[in-house]
Each structure stands twice: as C-alpha cells, then as structure tokens.
Amino acid sequence: MKTLLQIKSSLNGDNGQSSYLSNQFVERWQQNNPDGRVIVRDLAANPVPHLDGERFNAFLTPADKRNSTEQKIVAYSDELIAELKAADVVTIGLPMYNFGIPSTLKAYFDHIARSGITFHYTSNGPEGLLPSIPVYVLAARGGMYAGTQADSQTGYMQTFLGFLGLKDTHFIYAEGIAMGVEGKDKALNTAQKEIDRALAA
C-alpha cells in the first residue's frame, strides 16, 4: 500500500489556492491509488512551534540526558520525521508570503532537519539520510515570479529538500492569481493540467 504525505501551509487552510491545488493533487493520486493511504499535515490547523533555544537544545541533548520537557520536544519532532519516512510521495502546498515561504512551513522544516537523523556531515560535505522519494511542490503566487530573481522559494526548497536527501523534486506553479479573475482561472487551470500530466506519467 502506497502512502502520500500532504503538507498544507496556507494560512487560509483549505480556502487557500495552494491548498486547493494540493487537494486536487491528492484527489488525482487517490484515483490512481484507490487503496493508498493519505497522511495530512495541515500547518494552519496544527502549526508546528517555531524553533527556539529550548527546542534546539533538546535536539542536541543526548537521549539519556534529556529531561521530560526535552523528551516531549524530541518525540514531536520524531513524529514529523516518521510521517515523512512512511511516505512514498509528498505534496507540499506552497503559497508565497512577502517573497518567502510561510513561517509555519519553515518551523516544520526546522523540526525535520535533525543531524544524525535526516542528514549528517561527511568528509565530502553534508549527506541526506532520507530516501529520495518524489516531492511535488504546488506553488501559488499572486504575481509572476518563476524564473526571476524575485522567486526566493524554488531555489530554497530545492536546496533544503535535497539537503535531507529528497532530490526528486517537481514544481507546479499557479502564478498571477491576484491579477484578475481571468488570470486566476488561467493559472489554476494550467496548474491542474500539470498535475494531471505529472500523475499520468
């Protein structure tokens, strides 16, 4: 049985355009995998705490020396990582906020980047420890940014995911959503066709 991990990061929950595309991806994937399992991680409904000194130090403290609070912090991180390791494919709904990724998604990333767990350093540099499964990033933007210097998301996402070993990354863009009704409809329709093509392969 295949497993899909769906990560939604829109502040508007299922009303967000990136969540809409992510849900469309899941629906199409389920058509191809009727017996498949979907794990939903909604970062608006259940936000991951932002990284602070206490949480960071808990990750660095040896397991046999952690206090009860540190154990809970690490157990929560372990849960997020276990979801990721259980997945055969991942889809990430990614809105653009002020030229960057949502802070809730950054908080999630900060909890799954664990030295010795999801990556480690070697004499040749960092090496990701997660299996390279397909990751589909569904990026919804109000304007037109792909391929320009203002697109800070694509390079960051590729770098971070690749750092953990997730190098099979695919981007589907819905751009110009804030540029009138016609532009929005065109962007969503184009993205939907890209989703269909990606899952038909």
What pLDDT band is residue 185 in, cutting at 50, 70 and 90?
very high
**Over pLDDT 90: what percentage of the chain?**
93
For the cut 80, the answer to whether the pLDDT of residue 50 exceeds it is yes
Domain of 12, in residue numbers = 3-200
Return the pLDDT at 201.
66
Pairing relation of β-strands 119-122 and 125-128?
Answer: antiparallel
For the annotated binding site for FMN, the residues are 10, 96-99
Q: Please enumerate, by residue number, every residue annotated as part of a binding site.
A: 10, 96-99
Instruction: Report which DSSP code applies to 55.
Output: H
List the 3-8 sheet strands across, edge first: 37-42, 3-8, 89-95, 135-140, 169-174
Q: Can you name the residues that pair with 5 across neighbouring β-strands?
A: 39, 90
Q: Are strands 3-8 and 37-42 parallel, antiparallel or unpaired?
A: parallel
Among 43, 148, 37, 165, which Cα is nearest to 104's?
43
Write out pLDDT tens, residues 75-90: 999 999 999 999 999 9
3-class SS at 164?
Answer: coil
Q: Work out how many domains the chain is built from and give that number.
A: 1
Task: Provide mean pLDDT across the span 88-112.
Answer: 97
CATH number of the domain enclosing 175: 3.40.50.360
The helix/strand/coil state of 75 is helix
